[in-house]
Chains A and B, each alone.
Chain A
Amino acid sequence: MSPEATALEGRIVANDLTKVFGEVKAVDGLSFSVEPGSVTGFLGPNGAGKTTTLRMILGLATPTSGTGTISGLTYAHLPHPGRTVGAVLEATSFHPGRSARNHLRVFCAAAGLPDKRADEVLEWVGLTQAARYSVRGFSLGMRQRLGLATALLGNPRVLLLDEPANGLDPEGIAWLRGLLRHFADVDGRTVLISSHVLSEVEQTVDRVVIIARGRLLYEGRLADLEGANGGVVVRTPSPEQLSGALAPLNVKVTPRADGSLGVVGATPEAVGHAAWAAHVELHELRAGSSSLEETFLRLTAEPSAPTEPGA
């Protein structure tokens, strides 16, 4: 790849980003890139450093070392950041006493955009009815939508959204998914969305950047992530017996949040046969892409923490 290609229009690049807060290394030598025309999930457990990384890329926090660039430039050097980059950070950023419409019109003025743009984006995110009400009375989902509306004001070609699905209802999540896919697939924009649960963005993203404790764990296509096309979900009243029965198969068994077990490394047929042979009662047996979630959990688990809590 030529050196110019690294400065591709719309590409987000983190280059050895590090951020230290006192004793805490929130981000630790993190490098990755986010390509135009894709929706990239930025994943990691709570406190992994996602928000801190986004803040550094957006110029709101200064890296202790390393750089974050968009189209090859640090945020402060972008010619019209308000019209090229749209971003929402996790906590809401509104004056409670200002109406949604006035909030947007403030930033229309700042970015040199026509005021009618405020009404357009309000319509886009479905807040036209609430446009003239103070943000004070807005629900979490409405605030998310208004945050998104603010990010979309300048019709940006690069979008960075921190936990955008937080507080959205299922319909809202489906709508957001469609919007982001459209941006990436049809418009060729760059979309980076963070989340601490893979399943939330699994159906939206085509690439993922997974971090934990400020370090990169995986970067690449979601489809290439181990466990993306395999895994079995099995529910049984005697999980320990089943684990024992599965041991000879050399599989990985992980308890899931809902009480069932995730099995990676065997087909549903093999798991079912092993259970039958060991006389273990099964209540559910299915192939699940949920093993992706287990891969995610395994990747991001504390190295010292026990893999099977309570075992």
Chain B
Amino acid sequence: MINLIRAEWRKVITVKLGWGMLLGALALAALGVVAQIASNGNGANGNFLPPLSAAETQRSIAASSGSAYLFSVVVGIILITTEFRHFTSRPTFLIEPRRGLVVVAKLLVAALVGIIYGVACAALTAAIMAIWFAALGVNIGWVSNGILLSMLGDTAVIAIFAVVGIGVGVLVRNQIAAIIGTLVYLFVLEPLTDIIPLVQKAYPYLPGAAAAAVTGANRGSLAHLNAVQGGLVLLGYGLLFAVGGWLFTIRRDIP
């Protein structure tokens, strides 16, 4: 198993994709922090957030690091679908015919990649905040305002989304279909669920809402899962997809 994990890790670090996506995630996080601090108090777009010293504002700014989940889910999808796209699935499964083990190694490596993304984005977010707030002479309540805890939650979500990405990719081998499908689901379909009365009750258990429960982002009116429950539900989706993929695609003929 350790051999497979090392192999999967090498697959990640020897192509540009993982690094490029990390840069993208860092850029998005930095943009979120800078935009929120710079616009604070100037009332742009009629957006009067409480002042920078408020715990709520500080948490909201710190949550910028959480947007990296978008990148981690896509990286997860690509890590697995690229095997089928470029037929590296062949040498991979020739060396380890126990295909389930390969998928498990990929899930673990994806989680590790997600943790790295999360920690890197959190560190960048924290660094920008620390320097800027110090320059403005505002105190940050890292612990008292729950910032570190929310960053921990964000990192967990980013890591779990990478696992979900693997699950989706195992299930839907087509790279483009898997990526587009996932993004459409997260941005269009799931938010719709929240406003359709019939399925509204299920909303808190959907992946996006479960993630929101962990990060504390206030999305659905019914988001009543707590952070740990949300994390477990989200992880459950990742594993469910992976098992489904193992049952329906991975066990079949390898292209």
Contacts and interface: CB of A to CB of B under 8 A. Distances in A.
Interface of A: 55, 58-62, 75-76, 78, 81-82, 85, 87, 89, 91-99, 102-103, 105-107, 109-112, 150, 154
Interface residues of B, number: 27
Contacts of B4: 110
A81 B94 contact: yes
Contacts of B6: 109-110
B250 to A, nearest CB: 12
Contact of B11 (A58, A60, A106, A154): A106
Contact of B92 (A75, A89, A110): A110
Interface of B: 3-4, 6-7, 10-11, 14-17, 82, 86-98, 252-254
Given A81-B97, A93-B86, A60 B253 contact: yes
Nearest to B9: A109
Most-contacted residue by chain B among A85, A103, A106 (CB, 10 A)? A106
Contacts of A111: 3, 95
Main secondary structure of the interface of B (DSSP, over half): helix
3 A-B pairs with the lowest CB-CB distances in the bound complex, closest first: A110-B7, A82-B95, A102-B14
Contact of A107 (B7, B87, B98): B7
Given A81-B95, A106-B7, A97 B16 contact: yes
Given A97-B15, A99-B14, A61 B7 contact: no
A62 B253 CA distance: 6
Contact of A96 (B86, B94, B95, B254): B86
Given A85-B94, A106-B11, A95 B82 contact: yes
A107 B93 contact: no
Given A60-B90, A110-B7, 20 more contacts: A59-B97, A61-B253, A61-B254, A62-B252, A81-B95, A82-B94, A82-B95, A87-B94, A89-B90, A93-B89, A93-B90, A94-B86, A94-B88, A95-B15, A96-B86, A107-B95, A109-B10, A110-B6, A112-B3, A150-B91
A195 B5 CA distance: 36
Contacts of A85: 94
B14 A93 contact: no
Nearest to B253: A61
